[in-house]
Structure 1
Amino acid sequence: MTTPAHLTIPPPGPLLSVRDLVVRHGPRTAVDRVSFDIAPGETLGLVGPSGCGKSSTAMAVLQLRRPDAGEVWFDGQELTSLDERRLRPLRPAMQPVFQDPYGSLSPRHRIREAIAEPLRVQGRWDRVSGPARVAELLEQVGLDPSHGDRRPHELSGGQCQRAGVARALASDPKLLVLDEPVSALDPSLRAGVLNLLAELQERLGLGYLFICHDMAVVGHFCDRVAEMRDGRILRTTASPAVPAPRLPPPR
């Protein structure tokens, strides 16, 4: 008896396995049969010009936009076949970090409240361990716990992006989908955030889908690079093993 094609299990090993992903926006095909794998602890860079389908791919991987066709296997489960009730317990393990560090955090909330929100939503908050966990997450991303009392506009761009990473880490994820996470930062701050992401990956074994339009950044940071154009991946290559410049964290 053969297994139906839509239930074909990919080879064991990848944390994330995307197969023949299709995303349409009206009559336009934004993502056209895209396939790739990401192993635990690996960074795949997805690079290409604006409008090539990178962000649409990210949204479909996260199931924030359901794809029109294809499969997304995460940690051994195929996501596109799950309804929202069955998908909800899996969402914490896949977390986004967006391009705009200020727009991704509510301007009305203090940073500690933004980081605490995933803990509350997931039922992991209590009045004793919760604040300690928020302080630990702030320190983990290179911020002083006192930064938790500030609002986003009171932080620099680099500090705000670090707070966004801390919020993502609050869910104890296995995969971060990083959509242009440093493109809005000054070059002096960019290296600090990239260094932080590299250190977190080494310490926590995270997989990264790193979306960027800058080939130089991707070549320094990623293990492999998938070049995308007009909704398709043209080629996937190993990136040069060139260490990114290390600068001190932003003040």
Structure 2
Amino acid sequence: MNALLDVRDLVVRRGARTVLDGVSFTVAAGETVGLVGPSGCGKSTTAAAVLGLLRPDAGTVRFAGIELTKLRERELRPLRRRFQPVFQDPYGSLSPRRRIREQLAEPLRLHGPWSATEGPARIVELLELVGLDPALGERLPHELSGGQCQRVGIARALAGGPDLLVLDEPTSALDPTVRAGVLNLLMDLQDDLGIGMLFISHDTATVRHLCHRVLGLRGGRLTAEGRWDGA
């Protein structure tokens, strides 16, 4: 498979400390790659580098053949819709004062074009895509459960039609039953949309359920890689 995301020899330093030390991996279209390791091992730093939120000290991040680390922000901005994050805290990633439909409209307006008829119809489509009743679009985040809010976060990430999702501990704040539902949703979305996923977690069992390949990260270095069938 051709690599959608190709990370090579990534190095990130913070002062005298090396947070990532020569990290290399790929994610193909339609593939889910898990990045697993203990707290502080560099998982979230890897996500930030992939998303272009920090510039590494060395190494390359190529997305669809484009070298991201050398782009200026104005050059990177048009590409951002194609690789989108989903965060750990389902409530914290949403504005508490804005209705769900408004928060889904924001990325649609950003990535455009937006129209008075097609925009609202797309919001309904996004909510249905993640298994939510479109009527929930009129609610505020505190009126939804944690699982529902995380589904809204996934819908926001999907609004621009991305090729890659970068999911940083997206189910760790959910109870086991809700967590299973969100994981099943992600697998269904991948089957339907063909998107690639980088799934970051400290939970090996969760990663085993979802991912095609798993990378072990410890002390800023990749320590293992595994593959299993039926992930």
TM-score (ref. length: structure 1)? 0.90
Q: Does 1:42 align with 2:31?
A: yes
The match for 1:194 among 157, 172, 183 is: 183
Structure 1 distance, partners of 2:101, 2:110, is 15
The aligned amino acid for 1:159 is: Q
Unaligned runs of 5+ in 2: none
Structure 1 distance, partners of 2:147, 2:106, is 21
1:111-168 superposed Cα distances (whole Å, 9 cap, x missing partner): 1111110111123211110000000000000001000011111100100000000000
Aligned-residue CA RMSD in angstroms? 1.0
Structure 2 distance, partners of 1:43, 1:122, is 25
Question: Helix, strand or coil for the counterpart of 2:69?
Answer: coil
Number of the residue aligned with 1:220 = 209
Q: Does 1:156 align with 2:145?
A: yes
1:62-97 superposed Cα distances (whole Å, 9 cap, x missing partner): 001111111001011111111111111111000000
- Asked if structure 2 preserves the Cα contact closer than 8 Å seen for 1:220 and 1:240, the reply is no
Q: Does 1:207 align with 2:217?
A: no
Q: Percent identity between the aligned chains?
A: 66
Number of the residue aligned with 1:233 = 222
The match for 2:57 among 40, 44, 68 is: 68
TM-score (ref. length: structure 2)? 0.98
Q: Where do residues 1-251 of structure 1 align in structure 2 (5 Å cutoff)?
A: 13-239=2-228, 241=230
The aligned amino acid for 2:219 is: D
CA deviation after TM superposition for structure 1 residue 24, in Å: 1.4
Question: Helix, strand or coil for the counterpart of 2:186?
Answer: helix
CA deviation after TM superposition for structure 1 residue 241, in Å: 2.8
1:27-50 superposed Cα distances (whole Å, 9 cap, x missing partner): 211111100001100000000000
Unaligned runs of 5+ in 1: 1-11, 243-251
Which is bigger in relative contact order (C-alpha 8 A, separation at least 6)? 2
Question: Helix, strand or coil for the counterpart of 1:100?
Answer: coil
Q: Which runs of 4+ in 1 moved over 6 A?
A: none
CA deviation after TM superposition for structure 1 residue 13, in Å: 1.1
